Structure formats: C-alpha cells, structure tokens
Amino acid sequence: MSAKKNIRAFSLTELKEYFESIGDKKFRAMQTYEWLWKKNARSFTEMSNLSMELRRKLSEEFELNSLTVDATQHSSDGTLKSRFKTYDGHLIEGVLIPTEKRFTACVSSQIGCSLSCKFCATGLMDRKRNLNFDEIYDQVALLNEQCEKTYGQKLSNIVYMGMGEPLLNYKNVLKSIDKITASDSMGMSPKRITVSTAGVAKMIKQLGDDKVRFNLALSLHAATDKKRNEIMPINETNSIEYLIEALNYFYQHTKNDITLEYVLLQGQNDSLVDAEELITVYRQIPVHLINVIEYNPVAGIPFIKSGEDTTQIFTDYLAKNRVNVRVRRSRGKDIDAACGQLANKDKILA
C-alpha cells in the first residue's frame, strides 16, 4: 500500500484536479482548502460541510498531520509558552508574547538545532529534523487561537526566533510565510514578520534574490570574529565580513528592515571597546535598529547577565554615537520562555 500524501502540500489547483479525478465538483476543493487554511481544521471529521462519505475517502487517501498543544505554561507577565507535539511524536516550543501595543508569536523552525551557540539552551539539543511548512504554520494558528481566547485580540506580529535556525530550513520557512500572508489563509502582512538568523551568509543573499517582503534580524552578539567565533561557531565559516556583504546585498534587493540582535554577557561583550566595535559594524550596514538583549540564564551554561549599570552605560554610548538602539526586556523568564531558553523542559505545566 502506498503511503498517504499530506493534503496540505496540495495547492488549490491540485485539489481541484483531485476532486475532478474522483468525479466530484470543483467547489469541494475550495471548501476543503478553507478548512485547511482558514478554519485550521485538525482532522477531516471537522469538515462539516463535506459529506460523511467524502470525509471518509479523504481520510483514507490523505494525511492531515496537524500539531497539537501538549502543554501550556503561563508567566506572571502574561507570556504563554506552549509545547507542541508533532505527528511523529517530537516536541517543540512556541511563545505568545503580549505587550501594550502588540501580540507576538515566537515560532520554531527546527526540532532542536545544529549550531551550538554557547549561550543558548536550544543549542544544547541535537537537531532531529526540519519542521514542515505546515507545522510552522500550525504554531502560528494555535498561538493566534490562544491570543484570541486569552486577550481577545489576533496576533499582530510573528518572529521566527524559536528553536532552530530558520535559514537552514529555507524552503519550509518561506513556504510557511507564503501561507501565513496569503489572502485566502491568515492574511498577515509580511512587514509584521521577522526572520532571525545566526548568520548564514549564503542564504541571506538568497533571501535578496528571492526578493522576500519580510524583515530580517541577525543574531550578532559579538562584533569581532575572534569573540564571535568563541560563542557562535557558525562564525568560523560565516565571518562578520561575509555577513556585512550579505546584509547589504539583502537590503539592496529588498529594502526591508534589518535588525541586529546583541545579547549582553558580563565580561564577554559588554565593555565600551565592544560598543565601539559594534558601532563599526553598524556603520557598514543599513541597520534599522540594534536590539540589546538581556541574557537569560540557562542551566549548565556559565554566562552571566550584564548588570543594569553596565547595560545603561553600553546603550548610552551607542545612542550618543547616533546608533538607533533599544533594550529588549525579556518576557517569560519565570517559565523559561525568554530568548535563548527554549529547550522542551519537562517542568512545563498543563
């Protein structure tokens, strides 16, 4: 018996061709498509305007491998972290981050990660596999449902800053964004989506060639190759020089916003010398903003968060040198939902 096909891999045109091939009407394709991408059906049995016989036939011929919420944890600051289970039993995490002005979904792109950044909990995990485009989409859909239920609002923003390196799952990430932004699906503006990368220069250029419409964030975290090599091994093959070239190429071809992410680590990258080196990099890229990020502690990792005074001195120095800088305060620290903390911990509460 041949393996069932994933029905969500079918375009609307392909669904119409399928329904014609079984002697059914073309409009059944649109009904099914709406259940898959507008109503976010988790099974064929939910598709109530299709006949029982047709639903049975679809379930016999196709898979509908949707994510399920395995558990959810609530932070004292309103952040929600959810652990999702994939069809084949893997676990990933996504986060709903509410603020006064926006409701942001932080989603994962891989199960685990292969980059081993020294300050990141996900970097301690092995990469099991890439997430399929529909699994990434499901995270957004489920977090949007949580947002509507908890806060009475739809998601306003999406960041690909969860588990994994998005640009090492390039095709699925871009296809998921195509679905999220499609008018016959979620209809999110691409300008409200940011993809974060640890720095895969070749694929940053590919984003430019593909003329993507979403924004890009580079996790820089050190402004010299020597320091960046120590905390981010990817820099050994994607040097700062290559990244500067790639980011300029991306901007020339898209004109989309570029943000630099910079986590402050006590005694590692938080001196005024480090700030000056960061300014040197900043001047070579059309950067919209530098986000200075509080480090969030991870068990088994020796780094320490920079103090408030050090953070203030560092950011004041950047600002005095005409750098557009903002301190990004961590959300969800008490449930290990903040930047760098996602790792499928067992203590998550139902």
Q: How far apart are CA 9 and CA 291, in angstroms?
A: 36
46 is catalytic: no
Cβ distance 329 to 97 under 8 Å?
no
Neighbours of 77 (CB within 10 A): 17
339 is catalytic: yes
Given the residues 93, 135, 165, 261, the one annotated as active site? 93
State whether residue 193 is helix, strand or coil. strand
* Beta strands at 157-160 and 129-130: parallel, antiparallel or unpaired: unpaired
CB neighbours of 127 closer than 8 A, spacing ≥ 6?
110, 111, 112, 113, 114, 164
Given the residues 106, 113, 147, 339, the one annotated as active site? 339
Burial of 257 (0-12, 13-18, 19+ CB in 10 A): middle
Burial of 118 (0-12, 13-18, 19+ CB in 10 A): middle
CB neighbours of 267 closer than 8 A, spacing ≥ 6?
304
Question: Which residues have a catalytic role annotated?
Answer: 93, 339
